[in-house]
Amino acid sequence: MSELDMSQYLGIFLDEAGEQLQQLDEAIVKLEQTPDDLDLLNTIFRAAHTLKGSSASMGFNRLATLTHRMESVLDLLRQGKLAVSREIIDILLASLDKLRVLKDSIAAGNGDEGELGDIVARLEAVLAGEAGASPRDKVPGSETLTLDDIEQNVIRAAQVKGFQAYEIRVQLEEGCQMKAARAYLVFNNLKEAGEVIKSVPHTQDLEAEKFEDTFTLAFVSREDADTLANIVKSISEIKNVTVRPISLDEDRLVAAEVSALEQENGSLAARAKANSKASEQRITQTVRVDVQRLENLMNLVGELVIDRTRLAEVGNGLKARLGNEELLETLEEVSLHIGRITSDLQEEIMKARMFPIDQVFNRFPRMVRDLARKAGKEIDFIIEGRETELDRTVIEEIGDPLIHLLRNAIDHGIEAPEARLKAGKPRHGTVRLRAFHQENQIVITVEDDGAGMDPEKIKARAVAKGLISREAAARLGHREALDLIFLPGLSTSEKVTDVSGRGVGMDIVRNHIEKINGTIDIRTTPGKGTCFTIKLPLTLAINRSLLVQVGGRVYAFPLANVVEIIDITPADIQHVHRQQVVVVRGRVLPLIYLGQALGLARAMPAGENYAVVIVGLAEKQIGFIVDNLIGEQEIVIKSLGNFIGKIPGIAGATIMGDGSVALILDVRSLVDNLGVEASRELAS
């Protein structure tokens, strides 16, 4: 195999291994909460098995060795020979971490080098200590039902016809005299309700009484589980019956087949089950596409959008000149149609760039679990809206801020169990992570029912750290005081832990979110809890902007940065330390002519009225005087390219409907560029 081929496979292998590790991670954390979920265990087992196979075939022996041990432990769990315990979960998670290290090492080109350490020994200890571990409901003489391909196919065929497959485990009473006869009765009575696919032990052995007191059947039927259980229970000398639906290893039922099942199946419960199964297991067909290709498509569509506008403009121009001509009406029709199609195309491509936010959320359960254990807290972590979709670029940026917020919630928000009980709250704290769409935005909330924040304490802290003066603190309202936590260098936690509380964090969180044109808001009630609300644009490629004119040129302010627009007269402009300021509702805002801020003009042109765009960035608010306001518009952001590079104050360019180019302002760097005087003005 040539080197190129190998590297191609390696990429796929690493991608898949990453997905499998993530899947394992999530599933194992879930397993801790629902240790009896056999489906889940099977999922975990399969993922580990697949990983083992692919590692071995790629020649990564350490990876294969470790997954093999994990698989053995998982197998014991699956067979019920080992019970799920916190220790075993810990060991499994630690194994995953080690696997990740190995995978990263492979990705870095170092092969799966590195010591496996004691993790293999720990897994082996679990395997060896199997006898000592408490087995899950192990029934002597019973065997787990495994189905071969033919039997699985029979079940699949039956499922299409509206049958459901069950595993029926029958336990006879101890000392039952005629075991073979009882087994025969079971078979006979069940025959009315469906068909036996398989029996363990085999029917011949049952007839020859070659079994302890338990046997297991694979059975297909249109009846529900309770009915089947009752049929068996009606026979005397039966001690126990369990009936469980069988889910095939790879449920390849397509939606159509499921709906066929629904139609034929009269039982409501079964229908509900089929529905939930379909939504869980429907495999969506996907294609991996180079991200760059999507970006290119997006750019091309951006151009189409512009041409669509131009086409409409040309049409209008012609109409004004030529009046109502038949040909013009056709042109108008075509132009409208192109417009609609372009909008649809744009939307579809936007969607193609969208990912469910679960891509970010899926690593959090593990993180929360680990942090909570480390901090000695008991936390129920609830995630809602995993399927909410947003742009790839936004997804990449949102992870870190959310980690910060979750850490804060666990470390500072949720109290220790004893403290919670004392405060009359349940032992378990709740951290809730939610994502949902609201108009053209994604809203993400991180909420805890912990101790909340006290604005007075925050103020005192900020004063003690010399971040604001005592007088300034006294003037701050409830909300403004809360905003202080976004100042660099402020930490409200009394003790510094290795999780959070070093006074870096909230300012970084805010920076990150603003970088992607988002906003963050806090609501908190002392003693009740805290809720952070993050609002993000759906995409970074298209931006709602406020267009303004300065020196005959058009500039675009990202709307996310615009707080409000006011009209002032020269009399409203005051001076503080040679800095122009304006007082807006008692707040003193620095004022600058946009032309000056951009370095394009030395002075502001004289006038009767000025339009002022007030922009907000973190704790700063600044007013920019502009010549004219044009209006709001959706614009496609384009880079200025490598040749020009990064220009302070300019985020990029966009093409307007008339084909001209307008520059998009980078409000953050524009404000930063104005120097300290602006921010000092506000802090004091």
Partner 1 sequence: MATETAAEIQLVVFQLAGETYGVDINHVQEIIRMQSITQIPRTPVFIEGVINLRGRIIPVIDLHKRFNLPRAELTNNTRIMVVELGQVTVGMIVDSVSEVLRLPAASIEPPPPMISGIDVAYLKGVGKWNERLIILLDLDRVLRESEQRQLQQEIAAGVDLR
How does DSSP classify residue 470? H
Query: Phi and psi for 323 in degrees, rounded to 5?
Result: 75, -160
Distances (CA, A) of 259 to 272, 284, 334, 523: 11, 17, 41, 46
CB 489 within 8 A of CB 467: yes
Give backbone dihedrals phi and psi of 107, rounded to 5 degrees, phi first.
-60, -35
Cα atoms in the 13 Å half-sphere on the side-chain side of 56: 11
The residue count for binding partner 1 (CB under 8 A) is 33
Residue 312 near partner 1 by CB under 8 A: no
**Catalytically annotated residues:** 49, 71, 408
Residue 598 contacts partner 1 per CB under 8 A: yes
Question: Judged by CB under 8 A, does residue 660 bind partner 1?
Answer: yes
Q: What phi and psi values does residue 490 have, to the nearest 5 degrees?
A: -110, 130
For the CB of residue 597, give the shortest distance to partner 1 in the complex, in Å. Answer: 8
| Measured torsion, CA atoms of residues 12, 13, 19, 24, in degrees rounded to the nearest 10 | 170
Which H/E stretch holds residue 183? Answer: helix 179-191
Q: How far apart are CA 517 and CA 535, in angstroms?
A: 9
> Which phi and psi (to 5°) does residue 208 adopt?
-85, 10
Query: Quick one: which segment of 196-204, 248-256, 447-455, 642-650 binds partner 1 (CB under 8 A)?
Result: 642-650
Distance CA 415, CA 407 (A): 13
| Longest distance between any two alpha carbons in the chain, whole Å | 110
Smallest distance from partner 1 to CB 671, Å:
14
Tokens at 445, concatenated: 């909330």
**What is the spatial distance between Cα 136 and Cα 629, in angstroms, rounded to a whole number?**
72
Nearer to partner 1, 303 or 344 (CB): 303
Contact pick of 487, 655, 667, 671 for partner 1 (by CB under 8 A): 655
Q: Which is nearer to partner 1, 43 or 335 (CB)?
A: 335
CB of 398 or CB of 665, closer to partner 1:
665
Name the nearest CA neighbour of 582 among 613, 549, 627.
613
Determine the interface stretch with partner 1 among 179-187, 313-321, 416-424, 596-604 (rule: CB under 8 A). Answer: 596-604
Binding to partner 1 (CB under 8 A) within 332-351 occurs at none
Taking the complex as a whole, the smallest distance from the CB of residue 627 to partner 1 amounts, in Å, to 15
Q: How far is the CB of 302 from partner 1 (least distance, A)?
A: 7
Of 334, 442, 449, 430, the residue nearest 391 (C-alpha): 442
- Binding string, residues 4-23; x marks residues near partner 1 by CB under 8 A: --------------------
Rounded to a whole number of angstroms, the minimum distance from the CB of residue 599 to partner 1 is 5
Per the CB < 8 A criterion, the answer to whether 483 and 619 are in contact is yes
Other Cβ atoms within 10 Å of 311 Cβ, number: 19
Q: Which of 88, 116, 168, 306 binds partner 1 (CB under 8 A)?
A: 306
Q: Is 176 in the site for partner 1 (CB under 8 A)?
A: no
CA dihedral 40, 45, 46, 50 (to 10 degrees): 150
Residues 525-564, mask of contacts with partner 1 (x by CB under 8 A): ----------------------------x-----------
User: What are the residues facing 576 on neighbouring strands?
Assistant: 579
Single residue of 650, 657, 672, 682 touching partner 1 by CB under 8 A: 650
Choosing from 8, 644, 677, 683, the residue that interacts with partner 1 (CB under 8 A) is 644
Q: Does 314 bind partner 1 (CB under 8 A)?
A: no
User: Smaller CB distance to partner 1: residue 345 or 476?
Assistant: 345
Binding mask 100-139 for partner 1 (x = CB under 8 A): ----------------------------------------
Q: What residues numbered 489-528 form the site for partner 1, per CB under 8 A?
A: none
Length reported for the chain: 684
Q: Which is nearer to partner 1, 444 or 594 (CB)?
A: 594
Site residues for partner 1 per CB under 8 A: 299-300, 302-303, 306-307, 553, 596, 598-602, 638-650, 653, 655, 659-663
